[in-house]
A = this chain, B = another copy of it.
């Protein structure tokens, strides 16, 4: 059986530290339960995908799977990220697979419904 690819949770990145903190919290349950998983940013924040892949390679990893923390695929996921992956595969001699953005998985729709139910429960609670 071949080894699982190392999971990279890819966020867009921002120069606003609060923005990155939200993604670190979003990633926490995955980082805790999936060995070797990491967060990486496309731009404007560190670690970059290049940094994370380079560190993985040093640790002996040759296969990565990028799970985009994006709700939908726009230009970044249709064009920019595939281009970055092609360059990284050549530069580091690894294989990198790009998964669908998380928003295309039905789990996200269910989670959104749960969030809305929680918001409505707040309304019903006593306002004191």
Question: Chain A: residues with CB nearer than 8 A to chain B?
Answer: 1-2, 4-5, 7, 9, 11, 14, 16, 18-19, 22-23, 25-30, 33-34, 37, 65, 67, 69-74, 99, 101-120, 123-124
Residues of B within 8 A of A2 (CB): 123
- Are B119 and A115 closer than 8 Å at their CB atoms? no
Identify which of A33, A72, A101 gathers the most chain B CB atoms within 10 Å of its CB: A72
**Which residues of B lie under 8 Å from residue A11 when comparing CB positions?**
71
B102 touches A111 (CB 8 A): yes
Chain B residues near A65 (CB, 8 Å)? 119, 123
Q: In the complex, are the beta carbons of A72 and B19 less than 8 A apart?
A: yes
Contact B123 A105 (CB under 8 A): no
Taking CB atoms, residues of chain B closer than 8 Å to A14 are: 72, 74
| Alpha-carbon gap, A22 to B105, bound state (A) | 10
The winner among A30, A74, A102, A108 for most chain B CB atoms within 10 A is: A108
Knowing A25-B109, A26-B103, A104-B22, the reply to whether A116 touches B71 (Cβ < 8 A) is: no
Which B residues are in CB contact (< 8 Å) with A25?
A: 104, 106, 109
Residues of B within 8 A of A111 (CB): 102, 105, 107-108, 110-111
